[in-house]
């Protein structure tokens, strides 16, 4: 593997052994700068620890990768895509998408319908994170994010808090 930074190389070696990555997946993680993406959100001592120990989960934000790269979808940068085509591309490459999301993610449903005041709404993708024990709702947007989009997403979250999470807590 040709990673010139000794800390990054150490990180990839540890993660490869811990996560049982194939050579191809290791190359993908290195090419998508996984180490650098994780290191961007950490202080210098945390970056050194990351290089020595690999990724450890101490708080919820340690599970999520920021930013997420989707180059494995094979979408051409110059092409124009609809939200439906982006969703279909993610579904077609679900294994890679789950690995890109971070640790502990499970796919539950696509196009989950919500009905409020006789109007139907659809959240694009629903995941559950078994480590955080919470749902992650994804509503894909290809245009500029608007206040209406944020309000709609808050409505989805409120629905899950009131109806889905409550029913999970009441189970034995």
The answer to whether the beta carbons of residues 111 and 122 sit under 8 Å apart is yes
Please tell me the predicted confidence (pLDDT) of residue 125: 93
The dihedral through the CA atoms of 31, 34, 45, 15 has a sign that is: negative
Q: What is the pLDDT of residues 92-121, one digit of tens each?
A: 888 888 888 888 889 999 998 888 778 888
pLDDT mean across residues, the chain:
79
- Domains of the chain by residue range: 83-172
What is the pLDDT averaged over residues 49-72? 64
Q: Which of 9-18, 77-86, 124-133, 153-162 has the lowest mean pLDDT?
A: 77-86
The answer to whether the beta carbons of residues 36 and 78 sit under 8 Å apart is no
Question: Distance of CA 50 to CAs 22, 25, 54, 143, Å?
Answer: 21, 19, 5, 35
**How many Cβ atoms sit within 10 Å of the Cβ of residue 134?**
14
């Amino acid at each position: 593997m040709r990673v010139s930074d000794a800390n990054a190389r150490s990180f990839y070696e540890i993660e490869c052994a811990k996560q049982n990555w194939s050579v191809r997946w290791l190359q993908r993680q290195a090419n998508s700068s996984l180490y650098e993406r994780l290191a961007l959100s950490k202080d210098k001592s945390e970056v050194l620890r990351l290089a020595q120990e690999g990724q450890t989960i101490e708080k919820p934000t340690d599970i999520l990768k920021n930013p997420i790269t989707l180059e494995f979808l094979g979408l051409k940068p110059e092409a124009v895509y609809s939200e439906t085509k982006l969703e279909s591309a993610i579904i077609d490459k679900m294994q890679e998408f789950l690995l890109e999301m971070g640790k502990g993610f499970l796919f539950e449903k696509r196009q989950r319908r919500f009905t409020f005041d006789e109007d139907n709404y659809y959240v694009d993708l629903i995941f559950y994170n078994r480590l955080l024990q919470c749902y992650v709702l994804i509503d894909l947007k290809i245009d500029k994010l608007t206040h209406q989009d944020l309000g709609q997403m808050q409505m989805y979250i409120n629905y899950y808090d009131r109806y889905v999470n409550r029913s999970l807590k009441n189970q034995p």
